[in-house]
């Protein structure tokens, strides 16, 4: 059973940075795609960024482009989300998720991700 464990959340001021980490218990066809999603109170969960652990390709939501960077370690067992220039609108519970590639690509659709972590809270104050 694939397990995902997030860490690194916290409370920061606007403009500061945080790095989230996701420990993935295995690298396999089931975890080719690793994504970060977030859900703010009263809002739907949305995709933030994803990486193809096989190809190394990355995709970002428009709201975080230029501020967030997703990366993986050489062993493909840790995926990080570097978040810079944080805004109060970035406040949310952040979830790491893993899933298979669809037609050779990784999406930011929640339905394509079968394994989820418990989440880590990020709070950005103005």
pLDDT of amino acid 74: 85
pLDDT of 76 higher than 90? no
Burial label for 4, CB within 10 Å (0-12, 13-18, 19+), is: buried
Q: How far separated are the first and last CA of the chain, in Å rounded?
A: 40
Q: Percent of the chain, pLDDT > 90? A: 85
pLDDT of amino acid 49: 98
């Amino acid at each position: 059973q694939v397990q995902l464990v997030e860490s690194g959340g916290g409370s920061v001021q606007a403009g500061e940075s945080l790095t989230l980490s996701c420990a993935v218990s295995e690298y396999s066809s089931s975890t080719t795609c690793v994504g970060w999603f977030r859900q703010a109170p009263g809002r739907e969960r949305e995709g933030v960024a994803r990486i193809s652990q096989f190809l190394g390709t990355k995709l970002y939501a428009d709201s975080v482009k230029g501020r967030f960077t997703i990366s993986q370690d050489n062993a493909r067992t840790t995926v990080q989300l570097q978040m810079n220039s944080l805004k109060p609108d970035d406040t949310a519970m952040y979830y790491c998720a893993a899933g298979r590639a669809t037609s050779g690509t990784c999406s930011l659709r929640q339905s394509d991700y079968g394994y989820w972590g418990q989440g880590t809270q990020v709070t950005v104050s103005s």
